[in-house]
Chain A
């Protein structure tokens, strides 16, 4: 503990002047000295600045979106086109987010379906299965996955992973093609499925970390009671760890979902986009909000940018809702678990 010794102890604990009872009371609250007032003001101020930034993000996006939406000749929610310059309609802007909503949701669902079981498995591995000396290094390796920048994932996904997926996709087409979802007509496997696989790898660390935290909070008594009754390790996990951690897993998945929804550059590198909605997740085509913004930005004029901002606002609201809900679940269980007190 290095407490700096250069802080001179004040001779009297009370500020100068006669300490009246009320003054003493105020002094104990610690906000009477000018230094304290300034410091409190500064720190409270930056908290307010932070809130202000959030409000400003919402306000500015909403304002620019309203500019864009006022001139949209298509229906913003149901149009299957992105043509803010009005090339096909003779100058009238014509765009909508239907395809983007579809692509974003589908790719995120694929990511969650792949990532959640694996992440929960790894979290259990770290908290309950791994040899004790191994647990910390393994957690570190998972953190490394989180530290890799998304552009590197994109590069790796587009050049290394995607070409290797044709085999898997033709196999899926052979056996599950009849469902319509896994139909594959050949061609570059730069599809929503590939995006989903890549997103799954990218959101793995956050889901793992949050669920691991929750699993480690399971009261030891519950586990020991189960062990004392002769339960095997799996039964301990099924009877005491998973029920306790269920809400934690849900909120972890939602945090991962928030990540997946907003991922931009990895999707933009891997996906070969087109403005269509198709049942097959293996054929290329489709698009996501963030990917569309990144890909269309360079060719957009000022109105085109406003249109992209309008789609960004939708993305912002969706991620806000998802993240907010996840955080509320976490906060609520913190209150009664008592493990964090």
Chain B
């Protein structure tokens, strides 16, 4: 807010300003006061009119804030400043609007999930528990998710890494351009389509049954482009001087890549892989088509149906009774915690191992 405009003679407002070179301005604290004031009035109206949704209170306050600051500014500062303030307050409101769902989602999940989530829940399966009976847990689903995600990593990480190396270190010409483009397009493949592909290829054509492995193949298709993209970004950050120094010493290019380029970028690559894992760990659709889910513990991902955490949530939700809902929320909380830990660790590694580019 440090911009002051030179006031031409006869501006709207027309009041004499303290200095001839400065237009009249609202004091610095005015947005805060207006915000607090409109919040209070919003709550007041909400209480008085007996609106039971807190969202409505907030909306009234937001509209009041935007309106009041616009009119105040329009009378004191003139039209252009008022428009500026309007934009500022609208942008702030947009931001707060986006935080509301996130806050509500996390609050509800923690509140409803912590009811059932305990040590017993984490270490027992649904093997002998009926749908409408309390008890049971997610042990079988945890095993399934970990195995499927692990297998998906085994497929996707090598292919993704090598593709990224090809694009950054070797890639010139048509092939590289095509690969780049399709990697981008591949990030947008709906997860259900990846599931349908493995279904038509592995189950319908080759005649295998549902298994954790089939799910892992679909997940790896979703994971590959993410790994390629993030690895590519990281490899591009490695300073060229390092490569040149190594090559000038006569080190073959492949050894340069393995011993100089990759170690320099390894922090960022790990981060990328972990974020990709976080993304696929929450995928339900392909697992629904290919792994099917089971209430009992099956630790062999290559044989028969397996459970998985996201699928467990879906199936518990579909059972349609309160016990099922409770279990679904608890599993959702466990899944969110798992993914958030992955995210936080990944970002920690990124910060800790970030290549110093000297810029």
Contact = CB atoms under 8 A, between A and B. Distances in A.
Interface of A: 1-4, 6-7, 9-14, 30-31, 33, 35-36, 38-40, 42-51, 53-54, 56-57, 60-61, 63-64, 117-118, 121-122, 124-125, 129-130, 138, 140-145, 147-156, 158-160, 164, 167, 201, 204, 208, 227, 230-235, 237, 255, 258-259, 261-265, 268-269, 290, 293-294, 297, 302, 305-306, 308-309, 312, 315-316, 319-320, 322-324, 326-327, 331
A319 B192 CA distance: 12
A153 B105 contact: yes
A307 to B, nearest CB: 11
B162 A149 contact: no
A121 B282 contact: no
Contact of A43 (B6, B102, B169, B178): B169
B193 interface: yes
A156 to B, nearest CB: 5
Given A121-B91, A145-B98, A151-B284, A57 B246 contact: no
B53 A118 contact: no
Contact of B356 (A1, A50, A148, A149): A1
A309 B105 CA distance: 33
23 contacts: A2-B263, A3-B242, A7-B249, A36-B254, A40-B166, A43-B165, A50-B186, A63-B200, A118-B98, A143-B343, A144-B340, A151-B284, A153-B105, A155-B317, A155-B332, A158-B317, A232-B80, A234-B87, A258-B188, A264-B190, A294-B289, A320-B188, A323-B188
A157 to B, nearest CB: 9
B288 interface: yes
B109 A156 contact: yes
B170 A262 contact: no
A125 B92 contact: yes
Contacts of B339: 147-149
A147 B340 contact: yes
B108 to A, nearest CB: 5
Closest 6 CB pairs of A and B: A262-B190, A149-B282, A121-B94, A323-B188, A10-B250, A39-B254
A261 to B, nearest CB: 7
Nearest to B347: A140
Contacts of B33: none
B176 A315 contact: no
Contacts of A30: 247, 252-253
A290 B200 contact: no
A150 B282 contact: yes
Interface string B159-202: 11011011101110001101101111111111111101101110
A262 B192 contact: yes
Given A1-B264, A118-B97, A290-B190, 18 more contacts: A1-B242, A1-B355, A2-B263, A4-B263, A13-B250, A54-B182, A56-B197, A57-B189, A121-B93, A141-B99, A150-B282, A159-B325, A259-B188, A264-B192, A294-B289, A297-B288, A315-B193, A323-B187
B282 to A, nearest CB: 2
Contacts of B199: 305, 309
The secondary structure that dominates the A interface is helix
A151 B6 contact: no
Contact of B88 (A39, A142, A151, A233): A233
A122 B95 contact: yes
Contact of A125 (B91, B185, B328, B355): B91
Interface string B50-77: 0001010000000000000000000000
A44 B166 contact: yes
Contacts of B115: none
Contacts of B81: 232
Contacts of B159: 46, 49-50
B10 interface: no
B51 to A, nearest CB: 9
Contacts of B162: 42-43, 45-47
Contact of A152 (B109, B252, B285): B109
A293 B192 contact: yes
B257 interface: yes
Nearest to A297: B289
B140 to A, nearest CB: 17
B321 to A, nearest CB: 12
B255 to A, nearest CB: 6
B259 interface: yes
Contacts of B109: 152, 156
Contacts of B284: 149-151, 264-265
A129 B196 contact: no
B39 to A, nearest CB: 19
Given A122-B95, A142-B98, A262-B189, A312 B313 contact: no
A164 to B, nearest CB: 7
B201 A56 contact: yes
Interface in B252-294: 252-255, 257, 259-260, 263-264, 278-279, 281-285, 288-289
Given A9-B251, A10-B249, A51 B91 contact: no
B137 interface: no
Contacts of A36: 252-254
